[in-house]
Amino acid sequence: DSGVTQTPKHLITATGQRVTLRCSPRSGDLSVYWYQQSLDQGLQFLIQYYNGEERAKGNILERFSAQQFPDLHSELNLSSLELGDSALYFCASTPGTVPTGELFFGEGSRLTVL
Amino acid sequence: EDQVTQSPEALRLQEGESSSLNCSYTVSGLRGLFWYRQDPGKGPEFLFTLYSAGEEKEKERLKATLTKKESFLHIPAPKPEDSATYLCAVQGWGTQGGSEKLVFGKGMKLTVNP
């Protein structure tokens, strides 16, 4: 158990809909990362937050947004969903003090768009 | 743009049959190269960090090595419990300040038969 909690574990929705994925980082970790994993693209970095502020951005679509709250949990919002958004979405956390490359991943949220 | 290529995409071994997994990378100044293990339905789990060419790390039955363009994950005596997907990732010095953003390869699925 990495200590990172993601909900929901599975989500099935329809095209055009909006969903919110939630992540609770490890106790004390200030950085939260979101990654998307699909069969053809592998793990793709979406966005990072550090202590409530956006720290780095990857190829995140404009239909997607995220935030980190004062209690350090994070949410990833996906809107106007398309079939191609079906994927596993992972959250990871780190202390955020000294970059080590050791990310602690949650078990992911599997999104299926029908 | 930082890139990671892993080969082969999938590998089947018999228990005790040694092999090496290859990770080729291009990065604008290597800050670190990382190996992760991912079991089905789970998030990636950190294994190793390698920082400079010539470095080697060992953990249980795994050994990772690094050159200026590649890393190898050596499995000299694999067991069925080593079956998993192994992911390689890099972090470059060009990474946005303070970010631990990792660029992952697509992974290599290892199956070890008893």
SS3 A71: coil
Strands (E), chain A: 5-7, 10-13, 19-24, 31-38, 42-50, 53-57, 64-68, 74-78, 87-94, 104-105, 109-113
Do residues B2 and B92 lie in contact, with contact meaning Cβ atoms separated by under 8 Å?
Answer: yes
Sign of CA dihedral B44, B105, A20, A109: negative
- What is the C-alpha separation between A10 and A76, in angstroms, rounded? 14
- CB contacts of B45 in chain A (<8 Å) are 2, 105
pLDDT band at residue A2 under the 50/70/90 scheme: confident
Dist. CA B49–CA B46, nearest whole Å: 8
Q: Which residues contact A39 (CB under 8 A, 6 or more apart)?
A: none
Of residues A74 and B92, the one with the higher pLDDT is: A74
**Cβ separation of B43 and A48 shorter than 8 Å?**
no
Give yes or no for B13 touching A (CB within 8 A): no
Phi, psi of B82 (to 5 degrees): -85, -5
Residues from chain A that touch B100, judged by Cβ atoms under 8 A, are 31, 33, 48, 94, 96, 99-101, 103
Q: Would you say B60 and B37 are in contact if contact means Cβ atoms under 8 Å apart?
A: no
Q: Which of B64, B66, B73 is nearest to B107 (CA)?
A: B73
Distance, C-alpha B16 to centroid of its chain: 20
Taking a C-beta distance cutoff of 8 angstroms, is the pair B62, B79 a contact?
A: no
- Which of A43, A24, A42 has the alpha carbon at shortest distance from A93? A24
Could you say which DSSP state residue B109 is in?
Answer: E
Amino acid at B58: E
Which chain A residues touch B106 with a CB distance below 8 Å?
Answer: 41-42
Span B52-103, pLDDT tens digits: 999 999 998 899 999 999 999 999 999 999 999 999 999 887 666 556 688 9
Reading the block at residue B50, the tokens are: 């390698």
> Can you give the pLDDT at residue B97?
57
Establish if A48 touches chain B: CB-CB under 8 angstroms. yes
Rounded to a whole number of angstroms, the distance from the CA of A59 to the nearest CA of chain B is 12
- The string of pLDDT tens digits covering residues A80-102 is 999 999 999 999 999 877 777 88
pLDDT at B96: 62
Interface of B with A in 57-86 (CB under 8 A): none
